[in-house]
Structure 1
Amino acid sequence: MTASPVLFDQRGHLGLITLNRPRQLNALSFEMLRLIGDQVDAWLADPSIRQLALVGAGDRALCAGGDIAESREAIEAGTPQLFYDFLGYEYRLDVKLNEMSKPYVTLMDGITFGGGLGLSAHASHRIVTERSRLGMPEVRIGYIPDVGGSWRLAVMPGEVGMHLALTAGSMGAGDAIEGGLADAYVPSARLAELLVALETDDADAVVARFSAPAPAGELHAQRDWIDAAYRHELVEDMLAALGDLAEAGNAAAGEAAASIQQMSPTSLVATARLLRDARKRPGLRSSVSREYRVGMHLATAPDFREGVRARVVDKDNNPQWQPARLEDVAPAEIERLFATDATAALWG
């Protein structure tokens, strides 16, 4: 008998959601999102459930993101609407989890990327551990930080979020807390005990009781050069600044530049604009509306299919981007990505 990809369990007053694809690092399929959405609706209407919690099966990840192979199959089959439906449902679910009245505790233990952050980083109580790695690596596959990630990265102190977005980098517990993507640090050895406490006790009290001092944020300690390099409007100017820092002996800046140069140029330019826009008009609903608009275009563009092929399917890590150079990304093409209003399709 095949196990369900999501498990649901009522434990006292706690509704526990367990993402149950440990071999796939709990990557999200459309089926999983619908199962979660239906159960959340049921628990919100059930007075015996006072709070919800989200965990991942296994000890490697809460969730590595969306099932990219499933999305690519829909696009390759000429049915991109299936992918659009996936995104729309996912975004609406993330907003529901953010706005619902009952406390929602997420345990971001291990890898928590992309769609995993969408399910967890907008919660009322967000926990990280010594094993946590949080990130939005979508530019690696010719896409953009979504599920509200463009907003969460945009409002991090200084330019740390821009650095993470353009390098497809990840952060540990300290940076997640300092950057506003998490609230509390709890050693992984105490998570099982914390979940037991949530069966009867209030989430605020439980999280406060189990919290421990978090390690210092490694990236936030480097804000001097990060802020200086990424303060520019154009990605080309950011790269030039990183190059100057590298020539002056800053190895981390050189590594950042090398990483950015491996990403989709179109995705880099679109991502930088998304983060700038999110600073001007912050909030989860407005951000996912912008992300949906841009994502619908990118989903059928050559770079997304090529990025998934190179990074996920064939794993040769040699994507052939179109265009291949930042200077060849046409401003008119970027304007087109942002022009079509997809709000009605998302919220209608």
Structure 2
Amino acid sequence: MSQTHIRTEGRAGRITLTRPEALNALSYDMCLAVEQALDDWRNDDSVAMIIIDAEGPKAFCAGGDIAEMYHTGTAGDYAYGRIFWRDEYRMNAKLAEYPKPIVSLMHGFTMGGGVGLGGHVGARVVCESSQISMPECGIGFVPDVGGSYILAQAPGRLGEYLGLTAVRMGPGDAIHAGFADHYILQDQWHALISALADAGDLAPLKAAAQPAPDSPIAAQQAEIDALFDGEGLQDVLNTLRASDTDLAAKSLKTLMRNAPLSMAVTLEMIHRLRGPGLTIRKALEMEYRVSHRIMEHGDFLEGIRAQIIDRDRNPNWKHAHDSVPAVAVSQMLMPLGADKLGFEED
């Protein structure tokens, strides 16, 4: 059975994820199907815009389907994961750079690969059930699929906070942090999609948009900026330990569960990317440096084992939280030379 329903309705190309039993986790085949649809519709004058949504009550897309990466990686085959990530990142870039309007409707859980699918398009819609996060540091990875691109542009030090703690953003938080644009109650989405398909432009969306709910994260912005202002992981840990606030204690508890190398690399990525020269391709290319190496030299396989395969929640990370070697961070982010991420199909 197909995991995506791709068709045209009115003037819109429709992409619907149809894997609700797996929280619409993004498989390799799904990535390729989405990319093929984008290519087919690019020069099709009958398709004026694209709408991306998902079936099921719980999730737009709760991340990438990483079980196969674990099984191939533990067998010493790193090629499958590298090909998956390379092709997925190319699809992420196409979404961000697409010449026609794209609307994503992100209900429920939107995590990791779901952010890559819905978080880079021109009109990102959330609703009352939306919960958006980048949880990669908890499984020995780093925010990828262009997540570092959004984190580097988030206000203040929210990028560091969201990337390291994987805090779930409600709709108001997501709009404040730059992960979403519009808030519309979910029971209005069916009518909205019909209106968009009829119009072939974003006018119905702008008419339907409602005031965003309050953002708890925005209310904590000043404290987050102070707690996560450190240059490296050790600085952040020291600041959190020296603070007696509830936010600091909760954040520290989370960080002490996550992979130390992943968090140190995440901080370095965000700091390198932040600035006026940032593009989605620059972020994806840096992320791929890590993806290419993470199974062989990082904590990714151990993180998946502990969280998803054995579920003992007791990972044996390569480094202690207070002693991540700077050279290990640098090695993860070194240019890949001939293996550098390209954005053309092989």
Shorter-chain TM-score category? over 0.9
1:214 aligned residue = 212
**1:39 Cα shift?**
1.7
Alpha carbons 2:6, 2:13 under 8 Å: kept: yes
Separation of aligned partners in 1, 2:338 and 2:18: 32
Matched, 1:330 2:328: no
* 2:315 equivalent to 1:305: no
Is the alpha carbon distance of 1:343 and 1:211 closer, same or farther for their aligned partners in structure 2, counting shifts above 3 Å?
farther
Cα pair 1:14 1:198 within 8 Å, conserved: yes
Between the aligned partners of 1:78 and 1:238, the Cα distance in structure 2 is 35
Moved more, 73-82 or 262-271: 73-82
Aligned residues: 342
Give the corresponding residue for 2:238. Answer: 240
Aligned equivalents of 2:13 and 2:200: distance in 1? 13
State the Cα distance separating 1:78 from its structure 2 match: 2.4
The 8 Å contact of residues 183 and 210 in structure 2, kept in 1 or not, is answered as yes
Between the aligned partners of 2:323 and 2:237, the Cα distance in structure 1 is 15
User: What is the letter of the counterpart of residue 318 of structure 2?
Assistant: Q
- Of residues 251-260 and 301-310 in structure 1, the stretch that sits farther from structure 2 once superposed is 301-310
Asked if 1:254 is matched to 2:249, the reply is: yes
The structural deviation recorded for 1:342 is 5.2
Q: TM-score, normalised by structure 2?
A: 0.96
C-alpha distance in 2, partners of 1:29/1:180? 26
Conservation of the 8 A alpha-carbon contact between 1:136 and 1:164: yes
Deviations 1:78-109 (CA, angstroms, capped at 9, x unpaired)? 22111111111111111111111111000011
Match of 2:146?
148
Partner of residue 346, structure 1? 341
TM-score (norm 1): 0.95
Letter in 1 for 2:300: F
Structure-2 change in CA distance of 1:34 and 1:6 (3 Å): same
Partner of 1:65: 63
Aligned mates of 2:143, 2:337 — CA distance in 1 = 17
Secondary structure, aligned partner of 2:13: strand
Q: Which moved more, 1:269-278 or 1:75-84?
A: 75-84
1:66-215 equivalences under 5 Å are: 66-215=64-213
Other structure's SS at 2:274 match: helix
Distance between the aligned counterparts of 1:53 and 1:218, measured in 2?
29
- Residue 274 of structure 2, aligned match among 252, 271, 279: 279
The CA deviation at 1:335 is 1.2
Overall identity of the aligned pairs, in % = 36
Instruction: Decide whether the 8 Å contact of 2:289 with 2:340 is kept in 1.
Output: no
2:287 paired residue number: 291
- State the match for 1:318 in structure 2: 314
1:154 Cα deviation (Å)? Answer: 1.6
In structure 1, C-alpha distance between the alignment counterparts of 2:89 and 2:154, rounded to whole Å: 21
Residue pairs, 1:12-31, within 5 angstroms: 12-31=10-29
Matched, 1:6 2:4: yes
Q: Distance in 2 between matches of 1:233 and 1:82?
A: 34
Report Cα offsets for 1:212-260 as digits up to 9, x if no partner: 11111111110121111111112122122122222xxx21220011000
Using the TM superposition, give the Cα deviation of residue 176 of structure 1 relative to its aligned residue in structure 2, in angstroms.
Answer: 1.1
Q: Secondary structure at the match of 2:313?
A: coil
Amino acid at match of 2:301: R
Q: Does the residue aligned with 2:104 lie in a helix, a strand or coil?
A: strand
Q: Map Cα deviations across residues 293-314 of structure 1 (whole Å, 9 max, x no partner).
A: 1221112235111100111111
* Conservation of the 8 A alpha-carbon contact between 2:11 and 2:200: no
2:196 touches 2:202 (CA, 8 Å); kept in 1? Answer: no
User: Which sections of structure 1, spanning at least 5 residues, go unmatched?
Assistant: none
The amino acid across from 1:190 in the alignment is Q
Of the candidates 250, 260, 266, which is equivalent to residue 265 of structure 1? 260
Provide the secondary structure at the position in 2 that maps to 1:333: helix
| CA deviation after TM superposition for structure 1 residue 328, in Å | 2.4
Distance 1:155 1:338 in 2: 20
Comparing 150-159 with 39-48, greater Cα deviation is found at 39-48
**2:86 counterpart letter in structure 1:** G
Q: Which runs of 4+ in 1 moved over 3 A?
A: 342-345
Kept in 1, the 8 Å contact 2:53–2:104? The answer is yes
Query: Which SS does the other structure have where 2:14 is aligned?
Result: strand
The alpha-carbon deviation at position 72 of structure 1 amounts to 1.1
| C-alpha deviation, 1:322, in angstroms | 1.1
